[in-house]
Copies of this chain bind each other. A is one copy, B any other.
Amino acid sequence: MTADQRAAADPLTADLHELLHGLGARMKAHLERCAGALGLTVPQAAALRHLQSPVPMRDLAEHLYCDASNVTGIVDRLEEAGLAERRPDPDDRRVKTVVLTGEGRRRLDELHRVFVERHPVLHGLDDEDRRILRDLLAKVLAAG
């Protein structure tokens, strides 16, 4: 049985598969556009998102689902851009904590504003559909 035959055997799954692919492409494009508009790469924007409050390098790596060695470079670039700073942890001298600068805070707020304001899903439905979608997504994420 080929992939096409399987898809034909279950049209609902095939439709959902296709729609989810389209949704993923939209969301990826939206994220890249918003980050790029603010002079950030996607991983830099993702890092910023986790810096609402100060975070050790190690924790940032976990949030970003990547190896700790990558975070060194990402934070280097945020620091070069004047958006974040490394601070020594007084309780454990091995640890460096990443803190947003004032400019970093403004950039993060702007990123959030643009991201929500132009989000293709958040504004493509009326409130009743938005509530239904919210409940469905909550169910999906709880199930996984």
Q: How large is the interface on A (under 10, 10 to 19, 20 to 34, 35 or more residues)?
A: 35 or more
Q: A125 near B120 (CB under 8 angstroms)?
A: no
* Copies of this protein chain in the complex: 2
Residue A29 interfacial (CB < 8 Å): yes
Residue A139 interfacial (CB < 8 Å): yes
How distant is A112 from chain B, measured CB to nearest CB, in Å? 4
Q: A12-B131, A131-B12, A133-B136 are in contact. Are A23 and B141 (CB under 8 A)?
A: yes
Q: B120 near A144 (CB under 8 angstroms)?
A: yes
Q: B124 near A2 (CB under 8 angstroms)?
A: no
Residue A87 interfacial (CB < 8 Å): no
How distant is A106 from chain B, measured CB to nearest CB, in Å? 10
